[in-house]
Structure 1
């Protein structure tokens, strides 16, 4: 068989690649970056947890290391003393020990602590709101009346409003006597509210219709209804000391401002107070008490 000498030889070229975008070099770089960031934040934490005196002592060391008694000024001297530590670490430990011990929480900015407490309080109220909304879909005592239970977060805390509906009132007409279903609702709420440490504020509201009794106005009625609601909450398991305030507003704060006679204006409002509101009420109560019962000198 004849061989065709005009054909070019076939050359197979193999290229061996190393590294590439699938390599692991980036992981090392990322690890170095993460380590550097961790060290940076550790430094910030240490500096934030030291007092002014400690910072001054550390600064003095770096300006004049030999001034610290018992601290070696070179790595060889440090090793010779058997410490096995570098001078900077030894000096830092010595400087910190020179001032009274303080925990990070003690040296933290008070405003920051207040912000953290408020955030935790808000989270707790949000969780309670979710619990109540879930109960409105599952609780036999609440499901039939979920349209009359309004739950929202306001600046004062978590607000739960039980409102009247046409032909379905919470109380007997012109009375502070609870309907049986309203009593069940309040007892159910009392059990759930007791799961948080926050105190509550109770307010009663009426519509603008005047009462037939001349000696008993909407002011008395709204106050008595709020107090009756308080007793039902406590009967449901809520601790009595959780009540911070019980107030009647008559028809002065209508839910429907366009129609003062709307049944929805007749309501009981329960506010699970946040820390800021509770402190304000406590201060207000203390001021009133001082005015009514002035301290004798």
Structure 2
């Protein structure tokens, strides 16, 4: 009987795939890194818990080079501290957002009052005697003394009383603190009624305040008057034009909230 020919063993060529193991480990670590970065971008209790679970799954679910899991134990105390800190930051951010919104609304409210006053100034052609300015402290109204008083006197002119009455009506919808401050130039005054510029500035501010408060809809507890004499000038007292600018009454409607620095709504009526 003829012998059957020997069948040669067939050898299949296989690629070395051992590189897949460290490659898979690398992908697992990258996935865990992206999960941590995403979760830490906006931390709260829910996302923190999701991050921990995802991180543990990523780290424990893969098989390392030594075919052993790689768990990362999480300190319960550290987790609690992190959650507490995240909650505090979230609460602080919410409070800041509410404060910014309140400041914005207050600024808009003062801006509306300023627009009313500027309309009155223009309709009565008082641009050279009254000015308004919105500042970090509030709305400042500057009235030159020749619009209110005769030289060296503290009694309001009839037209000044009308101005004060109109201003009082505008202030009613804005129940804020209001200060009235009298200023003079540096020319000495020595009269029986006004021994000094201090006395004149105080009397002028008080008289203007009294006319404002003739409006019974205003709350007197929110108003105050003071005089600073010649000691807060806005111009040089060396010439008549500068002294005229320094003789003034300032009415300040104060903010209830602190305004942010560099308020973009600051405005001066030229």
TM-score category (smaller protein)? 0.5 to 0.7
Deviation (angstroms), 1:194: 2.1
In 2, the alpha carbon distance for the partners of 1:260 and 1:277 equals 37
Deviation (angstroms), 1:192: 0.6
Q: Secondary structure at the match of 2:128?
A: helix
State whether residues 157 and 277 of structure 1, in contact with CA within 8 Å, keep that contact through their aligned partners in structure 2.
Answer: no
* Pick aligned residue for 2:143 from 137, 162, 183: 162
Larger relative contact order (C-alpha < 8 A, sep ≥ 6)?
2
Deviation (angstroms), 1:186: 0.9
User: Match for residue 191 of structure 1?
Assistant: 169
In 1, the alpha carbon distance for the partners of 2:257 and 2:125 equals 34
User: Match for residue 221 of structure 2?
Assistant: 241
Distance 1:235 1:277, change over 3 A: farther
Query: Are 2:207 and 1:222 equivalent residues in the alignment?
Result: no
User: Match for residue 178 of structure 2?
Assistant: 200
Q: TM-score, normalised by structure 1?
A: 0.53
* Pick aligned residue for 1:111 from 71, 88, 96: 96
Map Cα deviations across residues 81-107 of structure 1 (whole Å, 9 max, x no partner): xxxxxxxxxxxxxxxxxx9xx9xx956
Q: Indicate the structure (1 or 2) with the bigger Cα radius of gyration.
A: 2
Query: Are 2:114 and 1:136 equivalent residues in the alignment?
Result: no
Q: Secondary structure at the match of 1:160?
A: strand
In 2, the alpha carbon distance for the partners of 1:135 and 1:113 equals 34
* Pick aligned residue for 1:232 from 211, 217, 224: 211
How many residues were matched structurally?
189
Q: TM-score, normalised by structure 2?
A: 0.58
Q: How does 1:23-38 map to 2 (within 5 A)?
A: none
Q: How does 1:65-84 map to 2 (within 5 A)?
A: none
User: Match for residue 106 of structure 2?
Assistant: 121
Structure 1 regions of 5+ residues with no counterpart?
1-43, 66-98, 279-297
In 2, the alpha carbon distance for the partners of 1:173 and 1:192 equals 28
User: Match for residue 252 of structure 2?
Assistant: 271
Deviation (angstroms), 1:216: 2.1
Deviation (angstroms), 1:258: 4.9
User: Match for residue 209 of structure 1?
Assistant: 187
State whether residues 125 and 157 of structure 1, in contact with CA within 8 Å, keep that contact through their aligned partners in structure 2.
Answer: yes
Deviation (angstroms), 1:260: 6.2
User: RMSD value over aligned CA atoms?
Assistant: 3.5
